[in-house]
Amino acid sequence: MDTITVSLGERSYPIHIGAGLLAGSRELVGATAAKQLLIVTNETVAPIYLARVEAAFAERKPRSLILPDGEQYKNLEGLGRIVDELIEGGFHRDACILALGGGVIGDLAGFAAACYQRGIDFVQLPTTLLAQVDSSVGGKTAVNHPLAKNMIGAFHQPVAVVTDTDTLATLPPRELAAGLAEVIKYGLIMDLGFLEWLERALPRLLALDADALAHAIRRCCEIKAGIVAEDEQEHGRRALLNLGHTFGHAIEALCAYGRYLHGEAVAIGMQMAAETSVELRLLDASDAARVGALLERAGLPTRVTGLAADAILCRMRLDKKAGSGGPRLVLLESLGSAVVAPAPDESVLRSAMARCMATK
């Protein structure tokens, strides 16, 4: 087992990474001392993992709430259901929410914890690769609005992250690929050596090789923990973690959060960012092709279907990271090195996006 610390002074917290941690491990049970516990999970995860988490905390008699599964349910209604459960259960300010699931559950439960009685503790128990390498770490919590993703939210750090790598054995291939999009992102933005390792190790990752997955999760968490410790609320360097997300979030919103998984939309967005970098002569075309080849080998889309470039551009203007001058983009100066820049002229974006639009 590995433990990585997110260093935020008095709000520092551990990320425990290992096999079998949901089966009553010391790391799980010791993640919170709260006597009042609410486990928030979804209809897909609950039949597989809820019973073992309930058993681990049996002495504290936790309550459980099972929500629908899917990005389209990460909304104010879902938030309201969690708050209703907390109020009806008589939860106090020293209570704790256990977020058992992927990124949707983590975001929903974390935002509820941020809001309830002006803030209570929560623990992340991520069960998808995407959540284990990215969304469970860093304290970003939010719900979606029909017009824009993650527009309503708060920074609220967990008190611990307990990552049981055994949960990946039950992950559908499409969800695994979606998580690999975020893994690849880390290599693209700041670790060429890790990116090169991914190119070699991808068959092992797709085959759920335990050692390869543990290495990938650990490296991603190391990178993110370092960035969050330096720039918790995304005033500077943390913005690099948004490679592909401005494009991807627009695509997700236009598709009503139903056609593409988050990681799939981010993969298309990363290819669009790479092509934009080529248009601006920051990146060689051969490197953009290398990005696309890796994403496609991982089983990810690099082209969007059924959407017009103008519609994507229009929705990008609503991105939560946009300033008064318009959206900002994370672009690639080279593989393993990224930069945050104002969005270029829309003619440049249209030209870059044209290479990422499917013909059918």
Positions annotated as catalytic residues are 118, 140, 182, 224, 234, 238, 242, 245, 249, 262
C-alpha–C-alpha distance, residues 337 and 31, integer Å: 35
Helix, strand or coil, per DSSP, at residue 320: coil
Asked if residue 186 lies in contact with residue 137, where contact means CB atoms within 8 angstroms, the answer is no
C-alpha–C-alpha distance, residues 132 and 318, integer Å: 28
For β-strands 328-334 and 160-164, DSSP reports them as unpaired
Half-sphere exposure of 259 (CA within 13 A, CB side): 17
Compute φ and ψ for 57, nearest 5 degrees: -110, 25
Alpha helices in 116-149 (DSSP H): 129-130
Angle at 21 between CA 177 and CA 298, to 5 degrees: 10
Return the structure tokens found at 95: 């209570």
User: Which runs of E-coded beta strand occur in the chain?
Assistant: 2-6, 13-18, 37-42, 63-67, 96-101, 121-126, 140-145, 148-155, 160-164, 328-334, 337-342
Compute φ and ψ for 159, nearest 5 degrees: -90, -15
Q: Quote the crossing angle between the two packed helices 285-297 and 173-190, to the nearest 10°.
A: 150
